Amino acid sequence: MKFPLKPLSLSVMLSMGSVQLALAQDSDAANASVPTLSAIRISALPLHTELNKAVGAITVVETHDLLSTNAADTLGNVLAQSPGIHSDTFGAGAGRPVIRGQTAPRVKVLSDGVEFMDASGVSPDHAIPADIFSAERIEVLRGPSALLYGGGAIGGVVNIVDNKIPTAIPEKAFSGRIQLQGSTVDKGNAEAISLTGNTGSVVVQLNANHSEGKDYRVPHWKDRRVGNSNTLSDNMSLGVSFVGDRGYIGAAYSYRYDKYGLPGHTHEYEDCHPHGSSLHCGGHSHDHGHDHDHGGHDHGHDHDHEHDHQTNAVLRSDRFDLRGELDNPLPGFESVRFRAGYTDYRHDERDDGVTGTRFTNRGYDGRIELQHKPWMGLTGVVGVQASKSNFKSVGGSENFIPPSKTHSTGLFMVESYEWDALRFELGARYEWQTIKPETQSVKRPLNRYSDQAASLSAGVSWAFAPDYVASLSLSRSQRMPNAQELYARGVHFATLTYELGNQDLKKETSHSIDLGLRKTEGAAQFAVNLFHSDIKNYIYANTLDQYEDFRLIQYTQHDARFTGLEAEASYQFNPIVKATVYGDYVRGSLRHHGGSLARIPAARVGVRTDFTWNNWQAYLNYSQHFSQNRIANYESRTAGYAMFGAGVSYKTKLAGNTYEFYVKGNNLFNRLGYNHTSFISRAAPLAGRNVIAGVRMEF
């Protein structure tokens, strides 16, 4: 990128300008009715810290924003409207969160503190089986607080707080929510229902939803629609809790079924294989002496990967969850909190209905947290986490990862101390990991991996003035390689690569600093975070050779660094009008070998205006995504694009029920946009103009 400082400067100037404008307003505007964040407690933090007291950067997406999303939206797309978060879109069916330039496996996605145990970390075409329609809110933790869920969460933690296991007795004996929705870009529809009932101390929760959409439209596109971008999803959960005076205990069963197309999926390079560090593709004339364009330009060929058959991913997940909390469980402890989940996951990739490769993962993840009573001013939590994953990929020609069993155990603690306007936090985690590959199905020697990792974090927040908080966080975290990075060998069609694992990989060690300044109450609110990470032995997919669109990659490690900024500032001019400006920027590069890392999101700035009047709410949103010219070898530059959206909703009561009617539009200017973080950005551009309309009834 030729002008990385321009979007940063613009974002900072907009933020500071908004703050200065806010401070200059009269007292009447300053006392306008505005929402505050002090009541929001973060479930993913062991101490349930209030948002306005948190040391690290935290984003919370509330229920209202989740329920009006597109039926086909992925978790990544839902969060991509927040500063510092993007999505590595893979058509309409899959998209993982990209936080501060990092995605899986350095971003963990949790279901109320427990991992999903899916296969989304293996490939971007594997959807995260998260039920967004039934979520109460989504919490995104960045910085040191994310380390409590593993040293590998260098990018962050996404915690989906759902209601499938009730935690309290509701006010009504029977209540619920019904929602109907449609979207134009994919001719999609969605239906959802949520029911809650209780008899005394027993509470039952039922959630169910269905959504589907056809291939989505794209402007200025040769086929007008992206082939194989259709989606279908079914979700159901049933939970029961016993709620008493000292806490609750509950269990739930969840079922998910997805069937979605895989744009750009081709078996054309099925016979490609490596000769040393070079590719050989049978039937192709591949001159190993040709001059690669390391500058990242397009390779000049017009290669058609379209096929007349359907390629789909079919996902099924059966999950059991157990959750509970108990006050005063033992002398010296205020509460105990436990979470456990078992998942039986299957992902089939089908051509014209015939299953080629099947990925399965059966495993569990559980954690217990004990919060001790205040001692010499200290409040804190100690805990243990254990997980096991039995991963397999069988059949077909995409069996590039051998079956393996991964065991992980972690001990963690966090302590907090408040002194006047200062709040100190200290956290630590020590974990053990063992990976046992199955050697019977492979002809090469595979070694068992076993290692330990230690992570430490320290932070302080300073409420130096009413409603103002400054924070500083330092962390030292370690991530151990996973089975794919160690043992992969074979063709990976989703990313059009031949992957080579590396059993000599060492664990990563990251040293990070995070500076924050925020104002969380009043007419003027803002949050600015600067972050920098130096990562020793950073593991990445290094491209060795390329033929047309197909690349030979090997997992390699070198020292890397990530530097960036996230900023958001808003001002409530009066009870009706609120304006917000936001922006983010991240730079990821190799320290001693030069060059940028691949698929780093481009800088972005945006402006949003919200209107609230009686029962009406509306918004206008404009965002500018800048071009990405800082690219890795064999990577193409991506042009910038702009997005404009708007929405309006009306809420009313009728016969004791609450009804909300809403209409929202995305990409209303119908711009063609390519997502630089996507592996298939050229095969599946961002969706064109889309209008979403729906109605929601609560009773």
Say whether pLDDT at 28 is over 80. Answer: no
Q: How many CB atoms lie within 10 A of CB 428?
A: 18
Note the pLDDT of residue 25.
Answer: 36
586 with 1: CB under 8 angstroms? Answer: no
pLDDT at 299 over 90: no
574, 29 Cβ separation under 8 angstroms: yes
CA distance 475 to 454: 11
pLDDT of residue 403: 93
Q: What is the pLDDT of residue 292?
A: 43
**Three-class SS state of 247:** strand
354-366 burial code (b ≥16 CB/10 A, e <16): eebbbbbbbbbbb
pLDDT given for residue 36 in this prediction: 43
Other C-beta atoms closer than 10 Å to the C-beta of 614 total 9
Q: How far apart are CA 119 and CA 400, in angstroms?
A: 14
Q: Which residues of 113-125 are buried (b: 16+ CB within 10 A; e: fewer)?
A: bbbbbbbbbbbbb
Q: Distance (Å, rounded) from C-alpha 391 to C-alpha 119?
A: 8
* pLDDT over 90 percentage in the chain: 69
- Who wins on pLDDT, 4 or 627? 627
Give the model's pLDDT for residue 23: 31
Q: Mean of the per-residue pLDDT values for the chain?
A: 87
The β-bridge relationship of strands 107-111 and 156-162 is parallel
Q: Report pLDDT for 59.
A: 86
Handedness of CA 665, 669, 674, 676 (dihedral sign): negative
The reported pLDDT for the residue numbered 499 is 94
Bridge partners of residue 509, in order along the sequence: 478, 536
Structural Rg of the chain based on CA atoms = 25
Q: How big is the chain, counted in residues?
A: 699
The structure tokens listed for 408 are 């992980």
Q: What is the average pLDDT across 654-670?
A: 95
Q: Which structure tokens are listed for 332?
A: 């010296």
pLDDT at 251: 98
Percentage of the chain beyond pLDDT 70 is 88
- Tens of pLDDT, residues 412-467: 999 999 999 999 999 999 999 999 998 776 677 899 999 999 999 999 999 999 99
pLDDT for the residue 4:
37
pLDDT in tens, 30-53: 333 444 444 567 777 766 677 777
Give yes or no for residue 397 having a pLDDT over 50. Answer: yes
What count of other Cβ atoms lies within 10 Å of the Cβ of residue 180?
14
pLDDT tens, 585-605? Answer: 999 999 987 789 999 999 999
Give me 283's structure tokens. 């039937």
Q: Which amino acid would we find at residue 305?
A: H
Write the pLDDT tens digit of every residue in 156-210.
Answer: 999 999 989 999 999 999 999 999 999 999 999 999 999 999 998 999 999 999 9
**pLDDT tens, residue by residue, 600-659:** 999 999 999 999 999 999 999 999 999 999 999 899 999 999 999 999 999 999 998 999
Give me the pLDDT at residue 283, please. 60
The strand pair at 404-419 and 378-394 is best described as antiparallel
Q: What is the C-alpha to C-alpha distance for residues 670 and 687, in angstroms, rounded to an integer?
A: 9
Rounded distance, CA 76 to CA 64, Å? 17
Q: Which of 68-82, 216-230, 336-350, 474-488 is the least confident region?
A: 68-82
Alpha-carbon distance of 695 to 37, in angstroms, equals 28
For the chain, what is the total number of helices (H) and then of strands (E)?
5, 33
**pLDDT by residue (tens digit) across 68-91?**
666 568 899 989 989 999 999 999
